[in-house]
Amino acid sequence: MTIQSLVTKWNMFFDTFLNKGGYKEVLTGLLNTLIIALLALVLGIIIGTIIAAIEVQPKKYGAWGKTLAVLKKISGIYVAFFRGTPMVVQLLLGYFVILPLLGINLSSIVVATLIMGLNSGAYVSEIMRSGILSVDIGQMEAGRALGLGYGTTMWKIIIPQAVKNILPTLGNELISLVKETSVVSFIGVVDLYKAFRNIGSGNYEYMMPFLVMAVIYIVIILIITFALKMMERGLRASDKR
């Protein structure tokens, strides 16, 4: 392939991107990608933390013990489903099977966020569980001995320390969420991938759009990595390290 043809390809891409308004779609796509990934992570952390807090509870007797056993069963099934099927399958199931069956109308971007959040929750629950277990049992005992409840101690003492321990792993989760948004176009959401694909499909010239797309993905991930490092440093204020 000659330099000449590469320059031609670049000019074609640049023309579509700038002069024919392709950048607008890319911006929309970028925004969608980031919004879906971030909201999904937030949802995932909320679901994951709740599940982890249920999972780490010791076996109890009485009425609460029975509720707990049921909750553990449910969370077990949930985690098994979302870890056991591909994300694409979950998106398709959610959008084309579950919603029509329930007769609910939701925009595809909302469905994408929900499904990715649920998917992420299954993974975050395991991450959070290991984080909670990494905190010394004495911290929980000290809280309980002062008269604080299980939930309060969990929320104010254990989870902050657990999050600090698992922040690098949670960062990984955000990064993989950003990358995995590239499958949401299966249910018609315009994300970064779809935007560049649309630019390319105008003249069947995909080389430059996909190259630029890859660069943008890398830049996003690098920015997130940097931000996470900063955040971790802040959280380590209570450490000697």
Structure tokens, 49: 């933390």
Report, in Å, the least distance between residue 61 CB and another protein: 9
d(CA 131, CA 82): 20
- Residue 84's closest CA among 76, 72, 92? 76
CA end-to-end span of the chain = 53
Query: Does position 48 bind another protein by CB under 8 A?
Result: no
Query: Does position 231 bind another protein by CB under 8 A?
Result: no
Angle between helix 207-235 and 3-14 (nearest 10): 70
Binding mask 181-220 for another protein (x = CB under 8 A): ----------------------------------------
CA distances from 2 to 192, 206, 219 (A): 29, 17, 28
Binding mask 133-172 for another protein (x = CB under 8 A): ---x-xx-xxxxxxxxx--x---xx--xx--x--------
Query: Does position 57 bind another protein by CB under 8 A?
Result: no
Query: Does position 59 bind another protein by CB under 8 A?
Result: no
Q: Which is nearer to another protein, 15 or 141 (CB)?
A: 141
d(CA 149, CA 143): 8
Q: Which is nearer to another protein, 79 or 132 (CB)?
A: 132
Q: Which is nearer to another protein, 139 or 169 (CB)?
A: 139
How big is the CA angle at 120 (ends 115 and 123), to the nearest 5 degrees?
A: 140
d(CA 55, CA 125): 9
Query: Does position 73 bind another protein by CB under 8 A?
Result: no
Q: Which is nearer to another protein, 84 or 138 (CB)?
A: 138
Q: Which is nearer to another protein, 24 or 156 (CB)?
A: 156
Report, in Å, the least distance between residue 138 CB and another protein: 4
Query: Does position 232 bind another protein by CB under 8 A?
Result: no
Structure tokens, 95: 């959008």
Report, in Å, the least distance between residue 12 CB and another protein: 56
Report, in Å, the least distance between residue 59 CB and another protein: 12
Query: Does position 100 bind another protein by CB under 8 A?
Result: no
DSSP class of residue 58 equals P
Beta-strand runs (E) in the chain: none
Q: Which is nearer to another protein, 109 or 162 (CB)?
A: 162
Total residues at the site for another protein (CB under 8 A)?
Answer: 22
CA distances from 106 to 36, 99, 100, 198, 239 (A): 15, 8, 10, 24, 45
Q: Which is nearer to another protein, 5 or 152 (CB)?
A: 152
Binding residues vs another protein (CB under 8 A):
136, 138-139, 141-149, 152, 156-157, 160-161, 164, 237-240
